[in-house]
Chains A and B, each alone.
Chain A
Amino acid sequence: MSQKKIENVSRREFLVKTMSVGAGLTLGVYLPGCSREEDTRPEAGPGKAGGEVVAESEFEPNAFIRINSDNSVTVIIKHLEMGQGTHTGLATLVAEELDAAWSQIRVEAAPANPILYNNLFWGPMQGTGGSTAMANSFEQMRKAGAAARHMLVAAAAKKWDVAADEIVVRDGVIHHQASNKQARFAEMAELAAQQPIPQDVFLKDPQDFRLIGQHAPRKDSANKVNGTAIFTQDIKLPGMLTALVSHTPRFGARVKSFDASKVKAVKGVSDVIEIPGGVAVLAKDYWSAKKGRDALRIDWDNSNAFKQGSDELLAKYKTLADKPGSVARSDGDTKNAFQSAKQTIQAAFEFPFLAHAAMEPMNCVVQLNPDGCELWYGAQTNTMDQIAVAKLLGLKPEQVKINMLYAGGSFGRRANPASDYVLEAVSIAKAINGVAPVKLVWTREDDMQAGYYRPMYYHQLKAALNDDGYPVAWQHRIVGQSILAGTAFESMLVKDGVDQTSVEGASNIPYAIPNLQVELHSPVLPVPVQWWRSVGSSHTAFAVETFIDELAVAAGRDPLEFRRALLKGHPRHLGVMELAAAKAGWGSPMATGRGRGIAVHESFNSYVAQVVEVTLHDNKSFSVDRVVIAVDCGIAVNPDVIRAQMEGGMGYGLAAALSSKITLIDGGVAQSNFHDYTVLRIDQMPAVEVHIVKSEQPPSGVGEPATPVIAPAVANALYQASGQRLYALPLQLSA
């Protein structure tokens, strides 16, 4: 080998230290002047994602930091970069405590490893979701940086024969003032690797932060601007075949038989094979596979197929909502309070199925090797996928290598608890006995019609009011499929028949209501469902925040003041609400035909309030002109990434508020592409202002919490503008 590496710690020792210190501490060191062996694998993710660690089996994993001979510092990122900025955020934490210069920091996606790279909130499982990347990594990555810094300083102290505490590190330079000596990290790396690993490290006092809270430009901007960023869709391996799959048009149908004669006649097609859930066409490239699939004739066995539509489901859900469900929360005596109430108000809410519709449709590249299997894709539940693939192939999980690439969006979709598209790719590779690497590509139509969806929901809400118009009792019934039933998460998050992800945002409402009952019905259907950006809050926030608004109006009170009165003891809700209201000029007069609305909601421990301004254009159409967002997500590590996630997360929710909708007809999906599953376009994007609450709380997530707040804020603004109270998404004014 042309390179020399010095390991300061064995894998086993590393694990022990990890447990004792709670952070990864290894420094992998490349000696100056020794260039790394050329990596011939496809470039993946930032730099060579996964490649550098995975490619060299003799190289014991170094957890999070590598100081390179060119003085760059590579930070290994355990979470998927799908746009939310995790590569920038986690690198900021390391750079802060290492006192590195931001410009010397590079990032690289971590290989699949449930011990080294687990999500600390999920146990021994690597994965990205629930807006946890920053929250679970905040201490871990800082400790990793601090430990590396400690060892660099110890090395310098030894080499210069000075006291370690006289040494300062700033912007990537190690400096001893009295002796006027200084060195860059790379010059000390070899010696640093021989220093004892600190048993404990001191982390900076937040007031000494130099990068956290400042603008650290995104690490993935340049390659996403010049087209060199590599996504799954871009992977090309020697001899690789592209596979397209004809999926069942109705959920639960099966292939009875198929006629491949015309398919085989298409130039470039190599195989036509049945796999679970459909028939795959393999060809030398995408267009041949597409033409081949178009020529495929399949006779479906519909005997066990789902044959209902959204309308029938809604009727069923309405009947269910009239009956008591499993109790998610019960405070006081709701029944009694309703019986003695003078005034009650009730409403019912409808939410359609939704597709995630990430810009990059689902895809996955797989290669079977004599000693295992290698995958390239935007892995979001890395460990679960690894286990599922191993099971399908009869391998051990560690024989399944995952190269975690950039994902062209996900919004939850790539974290599929059934590893659906990954197993589909592997099934195809298995069916051809691994003779060629396979790239499974879903067309937009596949992505829209083959699942998975945010479930359809129906809510029934009822409130009993006191003489001042404030709610004394509140009953909230939710009907909709359980996302977690039948998944590995069921035992953790489904208690007494209540899937926490169905009721979050409703069972924990912050408003002071003495008698409160939240119930759930979870009908079982063969429609594949999954979390969708902000999960339960994507529907509960709308029901709660528009209903509270309705109560405020019924009480003749200002919606802001009404909420304020009910939010005593919830300073973070109040904080964002007051900030958004103040910045938006709440209370200032609006012209006729315009309206202003507010909503506030906590999800994933982050608090978001939005004030929206709308304009009616005729009696049915309207525009959302301005959105003022206030967020409290604890310490703001990368304020600009937070702003971006507030803008984008809001926009994602606005698409569902305005027009996105998946409709089931006769057991299949009516929509197929962006002409009938409409999403937000630039001319519908309002002007957006983001204000971040200053906080010393630990950081919480920002990828999801802006999404659920926009729909209720828009609906409340529309009420002010039009007098129409809307109870269904997408929002539609009647003439």
Chain B
Amino acid sequence: MIQLTVNGTQHKLDVEPDTPLLWAIRDTLGLTGTKYGCGMSLCGSCTVHVDGVAMRSCALPVSALNGKSITTIEGLNSRTARAVQSAWEKLDVVQCGYCQSGQIMSAIGLLEQNKSPSDEDIDGAMNGNICRCNTYVRIRAAIKEAVRSLV
């Protein structure tokens, strides 16, 4: 049994210890907002927050997470999160949308640590998140919009 706190709720999960967090979240807990894109920490679709830090859930075995606190896109409620999500909506960032949970989790992770990121900071923090629809121009703009709204 693995003990995880996901979006504030404690869960005891009966899964194999090598199960990546991504699949425990999606298949066992039924939280499907977090996406699979590569399974190798290459695309960022699966980004969640582990103790507040943005991490790729596809490469994190649940056995390494006992007692950790996980936040997925479904569990967001911080002020930063709201600012990021409404900036995303305001600028109509999404296209197919499949990468966007991961983009948003990474963007929030960035803004939780850096209140006024430079262009380089933004590109650096978001570089692990692929968007095949190439919404990058709007992702940059939406992060800046969120920064403005948080002041």
Contact = CB atoms under 8 A, between A and B. Distances in A.
B98 A359 contact: yes
Contacts of B94: 83, 218, 220-221, 224-225
A199 B134 CA distance: 44
Interface in A607-659: 640-641, 644, 647-652, 654-655
> Which 3 A-B pairs have CB atoms at the shortest separation, nearest pair first?
A227-B33, A651-B134, A408-B98
Interface stretch (A114-122, A245-253, A673-681, A718-726): A673-681
Interface of A: 81-85, 217-218, 220-231, 233-234, 236, 242, 267, 285-288, 291, 357-361, 406-411, 443-444, 640-641, 644, 647-652, 654-655, 673-675, 679-683, 685, 687-688
Nearest to B139: A682
5 contacts: A226-B73, A361-B37, A406-B97, A675-B40, A682-B136
Contacts of B140: 682, 685
Contacts of A674: 38, 40, 42-43, 130
Interface-centre pick from B16, B20, B27, B36 (highest chain A CB count, 10 A): B36
B127 A285 contact: no
Contacts of A224: 94, 97, 100
B3 to A, nearest CB: 19
Contact of B135 (A226, A286, A648): A648
A242 B30 CA distance: 14
Interface-centre pick from A83, A407, A654 (highest chain B CB count, 10 A): A83
Nearest to A236: B30
Interface in B55-97: 72-74, 76, 85, 88-89, 92-97
Contacts of B126: 682
Given A409-B96, A682-B127, A647 B35 contact: no
A680 B98 contact: no
B133 interface: yes
A409 B94 CA distance: 11
B94 to A, nearest CB: 4
Nearest to B88: A225
B51 interface: no
B114 to A, nearest CB: 16
Contact of A218 (B35, B92, B134, B139): B92
B93 to A, nearest CB: 8
A532 to B, nearest CB: 12
Interface in B20-34: 20, 23, 26-28, 30, 32-34
Contact of B131 (A82, A231, A359): A359
Given A84-B95, A359-B35, A682-B127, 17 more contacts: A83-B94, A218-B92, A221-B92, A225-B100, A234-B26, A242-B27, A267-B16, A287-B20, A358-B98, A644-B135, A644-B138, A651-B134, A673-B38, A673-B40, A674-B38, A675-B42, A681-B130
A358 B26 CA distance: 20
Interface of B: 15-16, 19-20, 23, 26-28, 30, 32-40, 42-43, 45, 72-74, 76, 85, 88-89, 92-101, 104, 122-124, 126-127, 129-140
Nearest to B74: A227
A409 B28 contact: no
A444 B38 contact: yes
A682 B135 CA distance: 9
Contacts of B133: 83, 359, 409, 648, 651-652
B134 A359 contact: no
Given A85-B95, A229-B97, A359 B16 contact: no
B96 A234 contact: no
A191 B44 CA distance: 52
B39 to A, nearest CB: 6
Contact of B104 (A225, A361, A647, A682): A225
A43 B135 CA distance: 26
B88 A221 contact: yes
A287 B23 contact: yes
Contacts of A655: 134
A497 to B, nearest CB: 34
A285 B85 contact: no
A267 B138 CA distance: 44
Given A225-B104, A287-B20, A230 B32 contact: yes
